[in-house]
Amino acid sequence: MPTLDAATTGPLTAVLAQATGYAGVLWVGLALLALGAAIGFGLFRSRSRPYGVGYAREPGRPPTSPRPPTGSAETETSEPRRRGPLSGTAERRAEPASSADGPVARLCEGLYRWLADSEGQAHLWAAFDQLVRELLSEHMGATRVRCYHVRPGLDTLQPIAHQGPSTPTKGPSARDGVLGYAVTTGREYVAAGTGQGPLLENLAAADEEPWEWVWPVRGANDLGPPGDAPPAGPVVGVVAVARLHDAARLTAGLRQTIGRLLAMAWNQVECLERLRVLRRTDPASGVLTRHDFFTLAAHALADSYRENEPVVVAVLALEGLRRLDDTGHWHQRDALIEQLGPVIARRVRSDDLVGRFADDRFVMLLRRLDSALGRLIAEKVLAAATQTVATLDGAQSPVRLRVGLAGSGLQRPALEDLLVRAFRAVEQARASKTWIGTDLSGAAEVGHE
């Protein structure tokens, strides 16, 4: 057998090595091609299956389609995509309320807009009463709506449209009928409700007004969760509806929602009114500031002139008040001002106005009276204020009090003119050494030093 020597095998070995290198490269290429095909096939299968790669369906759970990627053909179709119960919450929150959202959304929008614009309204409760009437008429078909305040210690309800000292008006009983039922129990009344029993039927029959829906309004801290049991706390108001054109549409859930919305707005108005009182009250004396006295007195004067009612302006002057400051009796001075405000307010009537015009001047607007009654009220105010000064500072007090009166008579003078005349009457009383000076017709100066 012939043998191969080194000279022969050298070139053969080189050729075999070169062939082996090409084969290795070929095998590596084929392996990479197969791997790429496998990966591509796997991705294709993952898109055709209802589950993504690595998704393990729970046993017994029906398959669900995965969310298509953004820009896919499904997202571009007009057919809306199915959403879960929490999907799209942010989008729905950002969308403004429209007419398709139902009466509750429109009611919320109306209340919100009114509260946002209520700062400049002169008669807040009267405006709120009108708003409730309009909203319930529009969204509930109510044509006869009444809103009442519930005041502690009073047996009658007070219409919120007539709040204030100028027009004290009493409403129906707070103890009888279905209104009294809502006030005392804190539960709503529905005429179309079932299972009310003979007691409610008898209460409804005793009412002069055939109420169809009565909602008790609770205080801001007593709204509570919805339910059969009323939350603890007093009832501060009542919203009563006598006529509903579409009572069947007023379901229990809609009534609860509308009632609680009205209660929240009601308490917001209450807070705004209290804030107004704080802003217009002089912190030292507890009566109106000069600015708010002018504002409220202008409205009261216009009302009196419209009803052809005479008015009287009275000025209480505190002479010698500066001496308390100069002698270091600041505490006595502050205590005197603090007590004089309530003393004066208690001696005038509920529809009169009292304000602190200056450091040593109190002003009063007395409505619906003649000159004789004006003098009588002025004498009572002067006597009570003098007693207060004597009690606080003794008989040797440097403070002396005088009152000046000016009346409108049959004319209609401006508020500023009445004040100037009242101040002039004080100076005339000082000059004549009397305690009360007046320009009222037929009146004489009262008292002498």
* Cβ-proximal residues to 214 (8 Å cutoff; 6+ apart), any chain: 178, 179, 181, 182, 188, 189, 238, 239, 240, 241
Tell me how far the alpha carbon of residue 326 is from its chain's centroid: 46
Model confidence, pTM:
0.54
Q: Give the per-residue pLDDT at 277.
A: 79
Residues of the chain below pLDDT 70: 1-101, 119-122, 163-169, 192-196, 220-233, 247-248, 393-395, 441-449
Q: Give the per-residue pLDDT at 363.
A: 95
DSSP per residue over 367-409, as a string? ES--HHHHHHHHHHHHHHHHHHHHHHH-TT-S-EEEEEEEE-T
The CA-based dihedral angle spanning residues 298, 383, 437, 284, taken in that order and rounded to the nearest 10 degrees:
-40
CA 27, CA 20: separation in Å to the nearest integer? 11
Q: Give the per-residue pLDDT at 198.
A: 76
Question: What tokens does 205 get?
Answer: 């029959």
* Cβ-proximal residues to 250 (8 Å cutoff; 6+ apart), any chain: 140, 213, 244
Question: What tokens does 247 get?
Answer: 């009572």
Q: Which amino acid is at 331?
A: H
Q: Give the per-residue pLDDT at 66.
A: 43
Give all strands of the β-sheet with 142-149 in edge-to-edge order: 158-159, 142-149, 235-244, 213-218, 189-190
Q: Give the per-residue pLDDT at 78.
A: 41
Q: Give the per-residue pLDDT at 106.
A: 82
Question: What tokens does 255 get?
Answer: 């009534």
Query: Whose structure tokens read 């007590």?
Result: 339
* Cβ-proximal residues to 157 (8 Å cutoff; 6+ apart), any chain: 148, 149, 150, 170, 171, 172, 173, 174, 179, 183, 238
Query: Whose structure tokens read 């619906």?
Result: 368
Give strand pairing partners of 216: 238
